[in-house]
Amino acid sequence: MSRFAKSFLLVFLAPIPLILYALLPEMTGWNPEVHLGEFWNTVIWILLIGFVLVMSLLPFKKAFGAFFGTKESKRIARFGRPAEAVVLAIGENSEGGVVTINDQPLLNLQLEVHDGATPPYVVSFDTIIPRAAVPRFQPGAVIPIKIDPENPQKVIVDWQRGASDAPAEKPAVGARWSEMDKQLLEREGIDGTAKYLSLEDTGRSKDFNPIVRVTLEVEAPDIEPYTFTKDVPLPTYAIQLIRGKLGQSFPARIHPQDGTKVSINITP
pLDDT of residue 215: 93
CA atoms within 13 A on the CB side of 242: 22
pLDDT digits (tens, 9 = 90+) for 211-232: 899 999 999 988 888 998 888 8
Specify the pLDDT at position 162.
60
* C-alpha distances out from residue 48 to 41, 44, 179, 240, Å: 11, 6, 53, 60
CA distance 27 to 24: 5
Which one-letter DSSP state was computed for residue 152? T
Report which of 217, 219, 140 is spatially closest to residue 182, judged by C-alpha positions.
140
Look up residue 29 and give its amino acid: G
Residue 159 identity: W
CB of 65 closer than 8 Å to CB of 73: yes
What amino acid occupies position 134? Answer: V
Residue spans per domain, the chain: 3-60, 69-165, 179-264
Partners of 144 in the β-ladder: 84
Please report which helix (H) or strand (E) contains residue 204, including its range: strand 190-206
Summarised one tens digit per residue, pLDDT across range 163-211 is: 433 444 444 444 556 667 777 788 888 999 999 999 999 988 877 788 8
Strand order across the beta sheet in which 262-264 lies: 223-233, 209-220, 190-206, 249-254, 262-264
pLDDT (tens digit per residue) in 151-175: 999 999 988 776 433 444 444 444 5
User: Is the predicted pLDDT of residue 35 greater than 90, yes or no?
Assistant: no
Give the torsion through C-alpha atoms of 32, 38, 44, 46, to 10 deg: 140
Structural contact between residues 121 and 113, judged by C-beta atoms closer than 8 angstroms: yes
Give tens-digit pLDDT for 80-102: 888 888 999 988 877 766 667 66
Mean pLDDT over each residue of the chain, to the nearest integer: 79
Distance, CA of 68 to CA of 105 (rounded, Å) = 13
**Cα 18 to Cα 12: distance, rounded to the nearest angstrom:** 12
